[in-house]
Structure 1
Amino acid sequence: MRTSVGTSTRSARPGLTLAAVAVVQFMVSLDLSVVNVGLPEIAAGLGFSAVGLTWVIHAYALTFGGLLLLGGKAADRYGRRRVLLLGLGVFGLASLVGGFAQEPGHLVAARAVQGIGAAALAPAALALLTTTFPAGKARVRAFGIWSATNAAGGALGVLIGGLLTEYAGWRWVMFVSVPMAACALALVWRGVVGGPPPARGSRPDVLGAVLATAGMTLLVFGVVRTDQYPWTSPVTVTTLAVAVALLAAFVHVERTTARDPLIRLGLFANRSVAGANAYNLLAGAAIASAFYFVSLYLQRVLEMGPALTGLMFVPLALGVIAGSVLAVKLGYRLPPRTLLIIGGLLTATGMAWFGLISPDGAFVTDVLGPSIVAGVGFGLCLGPVVSIGTAGVAHHETGTASGLLNSSRQIGASLGLAALGTAAQHRTGQTVTPETLNDGYALGLTLSAGLLVAAVLIALTVLRRADPPSWAEQTDDRSTGTPAVARRKDAPA
């Protein structure tokens, strides 16, 4: 009987496991951005209102981020392979149904179910990667590939969405995930073996997941609606108060539940976990907002078509991939913390450069340069933040830690888009012209740079200088199967 991770991974097929995780991560990341360029066509096709249209993005990001902790806990308790297969089935079916949507509510519901499937997929896939490649050069290479596919999915999603919208119709931005889900399903079925028998104990805390998701949804809803209801209006105050109460109830439930809590709050006593997730939340907020603003700038200010807009995101995509590859090379020499600082500063520089856009600008002068700088910087961050956020976490909590990282990024994306989009809307005002739209988008991009500067400050003040010293120096704790940090000679036992 297999009783350890080491036994399980030796009988697995690491190459197929890595391929499956790469396809899953590409698909999940792609679906965060693939609808962006197609939003005008989606609105025209289904009759979305201006406010309702944003929920095509929020429905996915919120259910994804809000349920990721439950997904991570389920992966730990019921087995990563089992949860991965279930999530792929749900995701693929929701994508198919969404492509046939006839009303706004149909598409928003399909996107929400996609988010549920992604919440099962992402932590299970990342936990498989962590345990299949626990140490050394193989781990560095595996995280590098994961980072590249994660980055490519988000960045190329805009290109793919633009091409599909213009030449095949907006419904294909939903259909495109169906063959990818089928491919990943086949890879998981053939290449990933079942782990240890499912743990027997208390059930995962579903109530906590519901409270967290409902609280975050109301929080985003309250912020988004400030374009109609001011911050001091009874509607906004009540909505935000209920959201805060639900999130406080979530924390209380996690501390007192008799069930298996979604997250052991003591995890946040680990500075690596706390710092990596705070960094991830701010970076996710900045990047998601930047994708949104740049896409709208190209289409509504420079009047580019969907396909051409998508094509103009290619330098950003290539920059992210290049940054991810560079992070692997530097990962043998530099601590992940150092890479987060360098990458965050580069990305902030690119965002500040984006903030200089003008209504009579052009791709070469206003978009190309900042796309490359921001892309390379963001690529440098992706692998190191995962390595830090899962370092030193016990094997039975790797799924939870992975889910927490994904959750912080998606929740950050939704909150960031809500807050920065609202700020941009206030700057634009009631008179909508290319000039006023440009002013709003420029403000949003400048604020994105500020969020990344805050993320760098967190890396400087919260994360330890040598925790872990480098990806390549991480070793496998054979007693638990947990990826551990190679101890310095002066480190306490």
Structure 2
Amino acid sequence: MPPSVPRATVSPWLTVALLCVGQMMIVLDQNIVNVALPAVQSGLGLSSENLVWVVNAYVVPFGGLLLLAGRLGDLLGRKTVFLTGIALFSAASVLCGVATGETSLIASRFLQGIGGAVASACVLGMVATVFSGRREQAQAIAAYSFASAGGGAVGPLLGGVLTELLSWHWIFFINAPIGAALVLAGLRALPGDRGKGMGKGTDFLGAVLVTGALTLLVYTVVDAERVGWGAARTLLSGALALLLLFAFVVRQATAAEPLLPLRLFRSRSLAAANAVQFLMIAGMFGLLFFGTLYLQRVLKYGSLQAGLGFVPIALVIAAVSLGLSTRLITRFGPRAMLLLGLVLIVGAFVMLSFARVDGVYPVDFLPAGLVMGLGFGLAAPAVMGLGMTAVAPADSGIASGLFNTTQQIGGALGLAVLSAFAGARTNSLTAAGGADAEALAGGYHVAFLAAAGLALTALLVGAALLRTAPAAEADHRSAASSERDASVT
């Protein structure tokens, strides 16, 4: 019996748009909460000790479940898993908005993190397989990069607007109508895929090991900022996380149907691209976190003003990711654009390390932010393209989950390391009798320099390990030649 014919042909760009909206909504929620924390604390009477868990209760399950969710996408079908995650995320957002105490809010944030992980793990794999042509694929991945980076930059602004004009509850309520529209549109517009089935590749032991390892690792990192890196609890939970991670690797080497096939890492492009992204995101979290603190605590901006300060960065990322990067990647290749982008990111962090205590936004923050947006807009699509094009379509779900995992773990570890550097420098300056603003700025300067070091390491790793395949280079030259011929005619 012949397969049924779809009732209507859906534009592949509509598919990409729906996926990117879902990704942006999820990424927004990781940053939109930051500027609303004072309002949440006063509204619910949260203690300072538990306030941080309004953020961390989302981050811990999100970082821990991405690999498992990515593999479930390969087995059950990425469309099914994505829409399930969006529905769970949206429902949990409503529960966050109606929370009346810290326990209910933190529990709802944990559930929201699960939904975010389930949905986000499949997005890149779906985006990367919508098109078969190299140029269209690069454009689709660039759109995904903008959704991820732009969502992070717009988060502080949207959080400030909703908190000041309405209330903190609306930073969560806004997800409900967007999520509902995504599910309804996605049921019709997203291409269906049957998946391999749970009978093929269901490595339950591997899933338990890696989920436990990553969840405990993220918990250890975020908890260490409060209890200290040398605390017995930090050392014990960190050692246990590494032990579980080692057991997971052993399991993957021996399992008949592993959760994360180690053969994927035989691809130097995939392994190196994930390493570069890990280091790059570890540094980039410094811009969003310490940049916001610099504007609010040193320049004395309000939450709305600080959010507006990131709008030009988001606009540059959008312009570069959605327009310029595809043309440059097609003409010069992804490796060249990745390295150029990382050079710009390093330079931007160095510029931020000179931001003055009595500075002004157009001089001390905006130029570095624009350079950062240009660099990230070039580097993010390039590194994702280098990694995902080396993966077979059947493994795109787990590869997508792997990329998202390196993002989350890189961000959590990077922010913890940068916070430790910043805190040590601020405490040192305070002990020496420095003013509060000077001590804070001095700590941020050290954090920005450390972030520059992470980006520089990513640059060195990318230059040493990433190579554009000869066939891909030929495609780039052919596409560039075709563009030149078309322009002449």
Contact map agreement 2:313 2:370 (CA 8 A) in 1: yes
Change (3 A) 1:437 1:195: same
Instruction: Tell me, yes or no, if structure 1 residue 159 matches structure 2 residue 162.
Output: no
Decide which of 313, 316, 320 is 1:319's aligned counterpart: 316
Decide which of 286, 289, 292 is 1:292's aligned counterpart: 289
Q: Helix, strand or coil: the match of 1:31? A: helix
Decide which of 440, 455, 459 is 2:458's aligned counterpart: 455
More displaced, 212-221 or 432-441? 212-221
Contact map agreement 1:61 1:411 (CA 8 A) in 2: no
- 1:272-294 CA distance string (max 9 Å, x none): 11011011111111112220111
More displaced, 402-411 or 220-229? 220-229
Q: Helix, strand or coil: the match of 1:157? A: helix
| Structure 1 segment 207-222 matched on structure 2, within 5 A | 207-222=205-220
* Letter in structure 2 aligned against 1:424: A
Contact map agreement 1:62 1:414 (CA 8 A) in 2: no
Change (3 A) 1:106 1:439: farther
More displaced, 210-219 or 373-382? 210-219
Change (3 A) 1:450 1:99: same
* Separation of aligned partners in 1, 2:221 and 2:234: 8
Decide which of 335, 338, 341 is 1:337's aligned counterpart: 335
Q: Helix, strand or coil: the match of 2:330? A: coil
* Letter in structure 2 aligned against 1:68: L
Deviation at 1:248, TM superposition (A): 1.8
* Letter in structure 1 aligned against 2:143: I
Q: Helix, strand or coil: the match of 1:469? A: helix
| Structure 1 segment 389-468 matched on structure 2, within 5 A | 389-429=387-427, 431=430, 433-466=436-469
* Separation of aligned partners in 2, 1:38 and 1:70: 31
Deviation at 1:190, TM superposition (A): 1.6
Give 5+ residue unaligned stretches, structure 2: 479-489
Give 5+ residue unaligned stretches, structure 1: 476-493
Q: Helix, strand or coil: the match of 2:33? A: coil
Deviation at 1:54, TM superposition (A): 3.1
Number of aligned residue pairs: give it.
471
Q: Helix, strand or coil: the match of 1:262? A: coil
TM-score (norm 2): 0.89
Deviation at 1:116, TM superposition (A): 1.6
| Structure 1 segment 241-256 matched on structure 2, within 5 A | 241-256=239-254
- 1:58-91 CA distance string (max 9 Å, x none): 3323322221111111111111111121111101
More displaced, 64-73 or 396-405? 64-73
Change (3 A) 1:473 1:195: farther
Change (3 A) 1:55 1:70: same
Matching residue of 2:366: 368
Decide which of 37, 40, 44 is 1:39's aligned counterpart: 37
* Separation of aligned partners in 2, 1:295 and 1:471: 43
| Structure 1 segment 74-473 matched on structure 2, within 5 A | 74-196=72-194, 198-199=196-197, 201-202=199-200, 204-226=202-224, 229-257=227-255, 260-324=257-321, 325-429=323-427, 431=430, 433-466=436-469, 469=472, 473=476
More displaced, 308-317 or 44-53? 44-53
More displaced, 80-89 or 426-435? 426-435
Q: Helix, strand or coil: the match of 2:191? A: coil
Change (3 A) 1:467 1:184: farther
Contact map agreement 1:331 1:472 (CA 8 A) in 2: no
Deviation at 1:196, TM superposition (A): 3.7
Contact map agreement 1:16 1:188 (CA 8 A) in 2: no
* Letter in structure 1 aligned against 2:316: G
Contact map agreement 1:226 1:422 (CA 8 A) in 2: no
Matching residue of 1:488: none
* Letter in structure 1 aligned against 2:139: R
Contact map agreement 1:273 1:390 (CA 8 A) in 2: yes
* Separation of aligned partners in 2, 1:436 and 1:417: 19
Instruction: Tell me, yes or no, if structure 1 residue 20 matches structure 2 residue 18.
Output: yes
More displaced, 193-202 or 32-41? 193-202
Deviation at 1:309, TM superposition (A): 0.8
Matching residue of 2:482: none
Give the root-mean-square deviation of aligned CA atoms: 2.7
Deviation at 1:99, TM superposition (A): 1.3
Change (3 A) 1:44 1:385: same
Q: Helix, strand or coil: the match of 1:204? A: coil
More displaced, 460-469 or 448-457? 460-469
* Letter in structure 2 aligned against 1:401: A
Contact map agreement 1:29 1:154 (CA 8 A) in 2: yes
- 1:132-161 CA distance string (max 9 Å, x none): 212233223322322222222111111111
Change (3 A) 1:467 1:119: farther
TM-score (norm 1): 0.88
Contact map agreement 1:35 1:173 (CA 8 A) in 2: yes
- 1:242-294 CA distance string (max 9 Å, x none): 22222222223333346x43211221121011011011111111112220111
* Separation of aligned partners in 1, 2:275 and 2:442: 29
Contact map agreement 2:152 2:288 (CA 8 A) in 1: no
